[in-house]
Amino acid sequence: MEKIYIYIENGTFLEANSFGASGTNVGEIVFNTSLTGYQEITTDPSYAGQFITFTMPEIGNVGVNSDDNESETIYSKGIFVRAYNDEYSNFRGEKTLATLLKEQGVLGICDIDTRYLTKMIRNEGAMMMIASTEISSKDELKEILEKSPRIEDINYIEQVSTKEAYIHKYGAWDHNKLAYNKAVMSDKKIVVVDFGVKRNILNELVQSGLEVEVIPSNFKASDLIARFEKGEIGGVFLSNGPGDPLTLTAEKEQVQELIKTDIPIFAICLGHQMLSIAHGYDTYKMPFGQHGGNHPVQNETSVVEITAQNHNYNVPDSIEAIAKITHKNLFDNTIEGVKYNKGNIFSVQHHPEASPGPHESKYIFDEFAKVVK
C-alpha cells in the first residue's frame, strides 16, 4: 500500500494507507453507520462528490460482484475504512473492493481511526476535504482545497443522470434463482425522472407491477403531461440523487408544472426534497446528515419501520401547512414522509428499497402502483 494524505477544512491533517486508486480528490466527508452493504453504498449515485467514512470497522470481507452495484459508475470521491480486507469469502464475490475502486478511479483510505473521524463530523458537521497519494504537503493540500468549489456549488445531477431514455426490465432479487426477476409487461406504465436513481429502486417499482421508463433529469413537464393525458403513462416517480436541491432551479420549475396536474407522483430522497421546494417550502442542510441502515421511522399508523438513510438535506416542519406528515424519524423527530393535501402526491426521505430489515418500508411501492392510472 502507498501512503495517502488527508486535509480537512477544519485544519485536521492525517496520514493513512491507500488501497484504492492513486490520485488526488476533493469532496465532502460524511459517515455511514450501516453494518453491511458497503458495495451498494459506495456505488450509490447519491454519494457523488463525497468521501464516505464507514463506522463498520471491517470492510472488504465479502468482495464485490456486478449484480450488487447500484450504478455502473462510482460517483463518490473515496471511502474511509478502519481495516480493509483484501481476501474475501463469498460465493458470489467476483473481485476485491480495491480492484473495483482502482477501475473507477476512486480513493480507498484505510488504517485510520474512523471512530475519530465520525465523532469529528458528528460534532462539527460535514466538511470539505482533500485526499492525495501524490501530495504530502499540508500547505499545498490546503491551498488546493481552498481554491476548489464546494459540493453545494456543483450540479452533480448532470453527471449521474442517464443521457438517454430506457426501459428497466428487472424486478427484485430472487434468492432461490440467485438472479433478478425478469419484468412481466404491465398495463401500468410510469416514467422515472433520473436524478441519480439507484438500481434497486427501479427493481422494486418493476416488482410492484409497473412498467418502468427512465428519462434524463433535464425533462420537460409538458411532454409528460401530454403523455399522461393521452393515457400513455399513469404516473411519475422522482428519484434520489446527490447535492443541494436548492441549486436545481430548472428542475424545480418542471416539477412545479407537474404538481399542477392530477398525475400521481411518488418520490424518494432528493425527489422528496424537490417536491417540497416546488410547493414553496425550501429545504435546509442538516449538520452531518443521516447516513445508515438502522434509523427507526414511525409511520402514520404508529408502526416503527427500520430504514436506510442517505441525505444531508431535509424538508422543513412548516410543510405541515400543505401536507400530512406520514413518517417521522425517531432519532431526531425530522420529517421522513409526507402526503400532500392537493393531488395524488406523496414522498419519503428514507430508502424503502434498501432492505435494512426486519420491519421495512417496501409496501410503499405497492401503494404507488395502486394509484397509478
Torsion of CA 299, 301, 305, 309, to 10 degrees: -10
E strands, 218-303, are 235-238, 265-268, 284-299
* Cα(239)–Cα(202) distance, integer angstroms: 9
Do residues 351 and 307 lie in contact, with contact meaning Cβ atoms separated by under 8 Å?
yes
* Cα(258)–Cα(270) distance, integer angstroms: 16
169 SS3 class = coil
Among 40, 204, 211, 269, the one annotated catalytic: 269
DSSP 237: E
Among 40, 211, 336, 353, the one annotated catalytic: 353
Cell numbers standing for residue 10: 477544519
* Burial zone of 200 (CB within 10 Å; 0-12 exposed, 13-18 middle, 19+ buried): buried
* Largest pairwise CA distance in the chain: 62
Among 272, 291, 311, 351, the one annotated catalytic: 351
Cell numbers standing for residue 373: 392510472
* Cα(353)–Cα(172) distance, integer angstroms: 9
Do residues 64 and 100 lie in contact, with contact meaning Cβ atoms separated by under 8 Å?
yes
Based on the residue annotation, tell me whether 351 is a catalytic residue of this protein.
yes
**Which residues make Cβ contacts (< 8 Å) with residue 287, sequence separation at least 6?**
125, 126
205 SS3 class = helix
Based on the residue annotation, tell me whether 269 is a catalytic residue of this protein.
yes
Q: How far is CA 369 from CA 223, 271, 361, 364, 366, in A?
A: 21, 17, 14, 9, 5
Give the length of the chain: 373
Active site residues: 269, 351, 353
